[in-house]
Structure 1
């Protein structure tokens, strides 16, 4: 019993937070290796060196961030525009004309602000939708292979861009 107490005392005091240095003399190497703390993993958002991230930026990271940003953007800007549109519509022809004048030219075509908000909200909608479809596929347990996951993330950008382009080409022909 005295043997066990003498051998385990340095380990127990260091595990309990004692400030005394560990006594490793006479202990087997396996015991000393178990008693030493391994290096803690570094958080991915911490910098090492001159502003270098621990993880390389990937398409999946961008898709994840854009999914949140497009959802928030559509929820806030889209809701504000919808409320403004409905309030202008309910307030009469003069107020609705003011609403239309903000986004269109005198001949009825979209002005710069109308194009930026229109294309931006449309791209946000399609990007959010394509990212949601990607997440649905991932939730089924498919596409976890690294190459397929990477390609699927890139495909969300390509798909949302093509859908936005197709939508505005369709609207432009009407």
Structure 2
């Protein structure tokens, strides 16, 4: 009796493949999806603080207004926007559009640029609205 598993080829794994933009954006899309779970805790914390009264809401506002709090909120905004941009890309793929290699690579390269630009625009509008 021979050992059949020794004659089988190795299954491809991440060390075999060259990292390409579409693969990287797929990985980032999954990571941002997971990060949104953590961000949802922040949203729940803010809502609970708002429902608990002015003292708790003021404390939550102070916390989110610190430098670290704003960095976390900025990162959460980018995660949310980047995941949305990736979701739009997947929506086009679901209807059978955008599979051409050059087009898919171009969209993958544009995703972080577009998500960063939208994130900055959201924060600029929010900061101007506060004035």
Instruction: Pick the TM interval, shorter chain.
Output: 0.7 to 0.9
1:67 aligns with 2:35: no
Task: Kindly tell me the number of residue pairs found equivalent between the two proteins.
Answer: 126
Q: Residues 124-139 of structure 1 correspond to what in structure 2 (within 5 A)?
A: 124-139=79-94
Shift of 1:150: 0.6
| RMSD (Å), alpha carbons | 1.9
Q: Residues 113-152 of structure 1 correspond to what in structure 2 (within 5 A)?
A: 113-152=68-107
Shift of 1:41: 4.5
Point out the structure with max Rg over C-alpha: 1
TM-score of the pair, normalised by structure 2:
0.84
TM-score of the pair, normalised by structure 1:
0.65
Q: Take 1:99 and 1:169, find their aligned partners in 2: how far apart are those partners?
A: 22
Name whichever structure is richer in helix by fraction: 2
Shift of 1:135: 0.6
Uncovered stretches (5+) of structure 2, i.e. residues with no partner: none
Q: Take 1:89 and 1:136, find their aligned partners in 2: how far apart are those partners?
A: 35
Structure 2 partner of 1:82: 43
Uncovered stretches (5+) of structure 1, i.e. residues with no partner: 1-17, 20-36, 46-52, 105-110
Structure 2 partner of 1:29: none
Q: Residues 9-158 of structure 1 correspond to what in structure 2 (within 5 A)?
A: 18-19=1-2, 40-45=9-14, 53-74=15-36, 76-104=37-65, 111-158=66-113
Report Cα offsets for 1:125-153 as digits up to 9, x if no partner. 11011101111111222222211111111
Report Cα offsets for 1:1-34 as digits up to 9, x if no partner. xxxxxxxxxxxxxxxxx34xxxxxxxxxxxxxxx
Q: Take 1:152 and 1:38, find their aligned partners in 2: how far apart are those partners?
A: 40
